[in-house]
A and B are shown apart, each in its own frame.
Chain A
C-alpha cells in the first residue's frame, strides 16, 4: 500500500539506477568551431600597416610618404586583401616551389586559410548562414583531401598536419544521435568494469600477502628435510637448486612488499594532509 503511494507521488520512470551514476550531457558545439574542425591555431596576425600583396615589391612605395603608404595598406584595402595575405602566410609554410599552386599540400593550406578566416567571421556574426555553409563545406572537403593523402602518402600527411597545426580524427563507424539511455548504458558498463577490477585487485593483494609467509615456511621445511636426510644417511632428495630457487622467490617478494608498503604509507600521509 505504502509502496504504491510513494510510487504515485514520486515519479520514477525510465531505467532504475542502482549504482550512483550521474550523466552530464556534453554541450552542443557547432561543427564550424575550431575544436570540431581540428584547427589548433588562429589566423596569423597581420598588422594594419602591412602593404597589399601586389604592392610589396614596389620600389616607389618604399620611399613614399606615410599618407600614400596608408592608402596601400591592408587596413585601407579591406578584408579581401587581408584574407589573401593570410592565405599567403599559410601556403608559404608548405609550398614545394615558387610557382606551386596545384599540389595537395598547397590546396590544403589554402583551404585552411579560408576556413580560419570564415571561422572568425562566424564568431563575429553567428547568424551568417552563407558563411556557415561555406565553412562547413570547406571543412568537409579538407577532411576528405587529408583522408586520401593519408592513403597514398602517409609521410607527407603527417608533415602537413605538423606544419599547418591541424588535428585529424578519423570518421567514427556510425554517427549515432546522442541519447540518455545509451549514454547511461555505457557509463554503467564502465562502472561495472571498475568494480570488477577493484575486486580483482583486492583478491590479488590478499594472495600476494600470503605468498611471503608461505615461502618462508617452505624454505625452512626444505632446509630441515635436507639436514634430516643428511643426518640419517638417507638418499638426499632436496637439491641446492631447489633451495636457491625458493630463496630467490622469497627475496623478490620482500622487495615487492617493501615497495607496496611505502606506497601505502605515502597514500596515508596524503590522506592525513588532505583531512588537515
Chain B
C-alpha cells in the first residue's frame, strides 16, 4: 500500500513558477499551495520549493512549468525534473484565438494602430526582436537573486544592491 502510494506520488505532475537561484546546475521552482489550519478552519497559502534537473536550460526565471519527481535523487538537493514549459514569462498567448497578447491588447492591433499613424525608425518590431535573454547579465539582472551589499569585494557584483 505504502509503496503504491509513493510510486503514485512520484508520477504526480506539479505546476510551479521558476524563481531566481544562485545554483548553476539546477533550477528552483516554487509551487504554491493552500494549507488548512484545523483550528481556524481556514486555508493559508504555503510555498514549497523544489530544485529541478534541467540540463538543456529550457526554463528561465518567471516561466510557469510542469515538474515531476526523478526516479532517483540526483543529489541531496535535486529531486525533480522539468517536464514542460507551459507559459513562458512575458510572452503571453491568448488561449482562445491563439494570438499573442500584450496586456489587454493583441499585438496585431497595436501594430495596426502604429501603422495608421505612420511607422517611424524608432518603432518596435516584434518580428525583428531577438528572443528573450539577449540582455541577461548586461542590463537585465533578474536571473539571480539580488541582495544588500555587505562587503567591498575586489570585483563588483551587479546583483548586490
Contacts and interface: CB of A to CB of B under 8 A. Distances in A.
Tell whether A pairs with B: yes
Interface of A: 23-26, 36, 40, 92-100, 105, 150-159, 161-163, 165-173, 175-176, 178, 182-183, 186-187
B89 A95 contact: no
Given A105-B124, A155-B129, A167-B139, A172 B89 contact: no
Chain B: number of interface residues, binned into ranges? 35 or more
Contacts, number: 118
A182 B124 contact: no
Given A166-B139, A167-B139, 13 more contacts: A97-B113, A152-B102, A155-B126, A155-B129, A158-B132, A161-B139, A167-B141, A169-B159, A169-B161, A170-B20, A172-B147, A178-B148, A186-B151
List the 6 shortest-distance A-B pairs measured between CB atoms, nearest first: A154-B90, A97-B117, A183-B150, A24-B152, A161-B139, A158-B135
A175 B114 CA distance: 41
25 contacts: A25-B152, A95-B122, A96-B120, A97-B114, A97-B119, A97-B120, A98-B117, A98-B120, A99-B117, A105-B124, A150-B90, A152-B90, A153-B103, A155-B131, A156-B102, A158-B135, A158-B140, A161-B139, A167-B158, A168-B142, A170-B141, A170-B145, A170-B146, A183-B151, A186-B150
Contacts of A150: 62, 90, 142
Nearest to B107: A153
Contact of A26 (B92, B123, B135, B152): B152
Contacts of B141: 167-170
Nearest to A169: B141
A26 B150 contact: yes
The majority secondary structure among interface residues of chain B is loop
Contacts of A36: 161
A70 B52 CA distance: 67
Nearest to A26: B149
B65 to A, nearest CB: 16
A155 B149 contact: no
Which one of A98, A150, A169, A187 has the greatest number of beta carbons of chain B within 10 Å? A169
Contact of B118 (A97, A105, A172, A176): A97
A100 B114 CA distance: 9
Interface of B: 20, 62, 89-92, 101-103, 113-114, 117-120, 122-124, 126, 129-132, 134-135, 139-142, 145-152, 158-159, 161
B148 A175 contact: yes
Given A96-B120, A167-B139, A169-B159, A182 B150 contact: yes
Given A24-B151, A152-B103, A172-B148, A96 B118 contact: no
A26 B120 contact: no
A151 B147 contact: no
Contact of B122 (A40, A94, A168): A94
A114 to B, nearest CB: 19
Contact of A187 (B119, B146, B151): B151
A163 B125 CA distance: 13
Given A97-B119, A153-B102, A153-B103, A173 B145 contact: yes
B140 A168 contact: yes
A165 B138 CA distance: 10
Contacts of A157: 90, 140
A40 B103 CA distance: 28
B158 A172 contact: no
B92 A152 contact: yes
Contacts of B91: 154-155
B148 A155 contact: no
B139 A98 contact: no
A173 B139 CA distance: 20
Contact of B151 (A23, A151, A169): A23
Nearest to B126: A155
Contacts of A170: 20, 141-142, 145-146
